Amino acid sequence: MIANVTTSEPNALIQPDPTATGLPVTILTGFLGAGKTTLLNHILNNQQGVKTAVLVNEFGEIGIDNDLIIATGEDMVELSNGCICCSINGELLEAVYRILERPEPVDYLVVETTGLADPLPVAMTFLGSDLRDQTRLDSIITLIDAENFSDEILDGEVARAQVVYGDILLLNKCDLVSPERLEEVEGRLREIKTDARILHSVKGEVSLPLLLSVGLFESDKVAAQQDHEDCDHDHGHCVHEHDHEPQHDHQHDHGHSHHHDHNAADHPGADHLAIEGFTSLSFSSEGPFALRKFQNFLDNQLPAGVFRAKGILWFNESAKRHVFHLAGKRFSIDDSEWSSPEARKNQLVVIGKNLDHAKLRKQLQACVAKDAGKGFA
């Protein structure tokens, strides 16, 4: 029997534990498109009496409610509810210190990883440095897309690590699947992690006391999972060698090693090297898309290997700013307002496997309107 734990209990129940020392930290992880950004917005919009800091890879992408923003800096947004949102520009360790050194202390810290990040090296940043005395890791929350979850995703080392090290597995987008599908996904997760605490959500809406200040992280259990020579998670390899310094590059001892940047996959900019076969392409244009051309691209040209896409879109036929998200086969476009006419441009990041970057870039460039400005004055 599956019961959705999507209650509306008062979020004011979240209060710092006066007997505990150090700033409590929650690490938010999950595969591409699982809904981390939506959950972050839920946390920021429902805090009551708690000043929370959120560390993200690019705070411009999380679409903070303009009514909440009171001040912005180069890498920090301050909100009217006392919360702040800080961008991880460079090292995570440095970003955490910026939070800790603020004259006005915060009560809680949430750190979002990218969709292609193993959460363990992030956790070790707090456990294996002098942050250990100033912070305490409360839990690792792993978001899982109930609709797009598959064994193919779990075949990846990173996605499986996100499940293995998650203290809470939050099955999101439950409104898009049947109860039978939920049971199937939950059963598959319990095969990987027998003691999993699994919650269900729609658009990341879960009563915050079920997620924050739960005290579930156990560093000794993580150490045992790392060192267990029998690999009791049944995934064919062990994770034994991790660089616990704050660089975040790490090695996996199963016949080969690789390094990757945990900020790369979700960060607009140049194209990035492959992580487990995934690559990301960033596209921008100073001119608007033609709406019909972009729709044709989505319907008929989008490569099957594309798993995630997101961006800010400008259409020749519209005065609005359009926030675009694609996960699996489903996409959404939400309207908002441009800050100024000069701010209008297209910025899109596409992530997937076996992508022909040159062809994909050419297809997107073909969506740019040749008669820019004629459709909308």
Q: What is the 3-state secondary structure (H, E, C) of 120-144?
A: HHHHHHHHCCHHHHCEEEEEEEEEE
331: β partners = 326
Q: Are 146 and 173 in contact (CB under 8 A)?
A: yes
Cα separation of 56 and 50, whole Å?
19
pLDDT of amino acid 326? 84
Residue 16 near residue 107, CB atoms below 8 Å: yes
Q: What residues form DSSP beta bridges with 133?
A: none
Domain match, 222 and 320 both = no
Cβ-based neighbours of 358, under 8 Å, separated by 6 or more: none
- In this structure, the answer to whether residues 53 and 202 fall within a common structural domain is yes
| Domain endpoint, select from 162, 196, 227 | 227
pLDDT at 49: 79
Q: What's residue 196's pLDDT?
A: 79
**Residue 224 buriedness (CB in 10 A; 0-12 / 13-18 / 19+):** exposed
Are 108 and 186 within one domain?
A: yes
Determine the pLDDT at residue 80.
Answer: 76
Structural domain contains residue 21:
yes
- Say if residue 70 is in the same domain as residue 213: yes
Cβ-contact 247, 263 below 8 angstroms: no
Has residue 235 been placed in a domain? no
Rounded CA gap, 294 and 286, in Å?
A: 15
Question: 327: domain range?
Answer: 278-365
Element (H, E) at 199: strand 197-200
Tokens linked to 303 = 């490569």
Judge whether 211 lies within some domain.
yes
d(CA 101, CA 82): 16
| pLDDT digit string (tens) for the chain, length 377 residues | 223 333 333 333 334 444 457 899 999 998 888 888 888 888 888 877 788 888 887 655 556 656 666 666 767 777 777 777 887 766 888 889 889 998 888 899 999 888 878 888 888 888 876 788 899 999 999 999 999 888 888 888 888 889 998 999 999 999 999 999 999 999 999 998 888 789 999 988 988 888 888 877 765 444 444 444 333 434 333 333 333 333 333 333 333 333 333 333 333 333 444 566 778 888 989 899 998 999 899 888 988 888 788 888 999 988 888 888 887 777 888 888 888 888 888 988 888 888 899 999 999 999 998 865 444 43
Any domain includes 252: no
Structure tokens at 154: 């779990």
Domain boundary among 227, 261, 294: 227
Q: What pLDDT sits at residue 25?
A: 93
Bridge partner list, 280: 351
373 part of a folded domain: no
Q: Are residues 160 and 308 in the same domain?
A: no
Number of domain units in the chain? 2
The torsion of the CA quartet 261, 262, 263, 268, rounded to 10 degrees, works out to 80
Q: Which residues pair with 370 in a beta bridge?
A: none
Is residue 91 one of the residues assigned to a domain? yes
**Residue 85: CATH number of its domain:** 3.40.50.300
Which domain CATH number covers 306?
A: 3.30.1220.10
At how many degrees (to 10) do helices 119-127 and 92-100 cross? 50
**Residue 118 and residue 46 share a domain:** yes
Q: Which positions ≥6 away from 114 have C-beta within 8 Å? A: 57, 262, 263, 264, 265, 266, 267
Q: Is residue 265 part of a domain?
A: no
Residues 283 and 216 in one domain: no
Question: Which 3 state secondary structure label does DSSP give 108?
Answer: strand
Query: Domain check: are 153 and 49 in the same one?
Result: yes
DSSP, collapsed to helix, strand or coil, labels residue 311 as strand
Same domain for 192 and 289, yes or no, is no
Query: Which pLDDT belongs to residue 81?
Result: 75
- Would residue 255 count as lying in a domain? no
In this structure, are 25 and 159 located in the same domain? yes
Q: Do 48 and 186 sit in the same domain of this protein?
A: yes
Q: How high is the pLDDT of residue 293? A: 92
Across the strands, what pairs with 238?
A: none
Cβ contact 316:291 at 8 Å: yes
Same domain for 210 and 290, yes or no, is: no
- Given a contact cutoff of 8 angstroms between Cβ atoms, the answer to whether 185 and 173 are in contact is no
What is d(CA 190, CA 196) in angstroms, rounded to the nearest whole number?
6
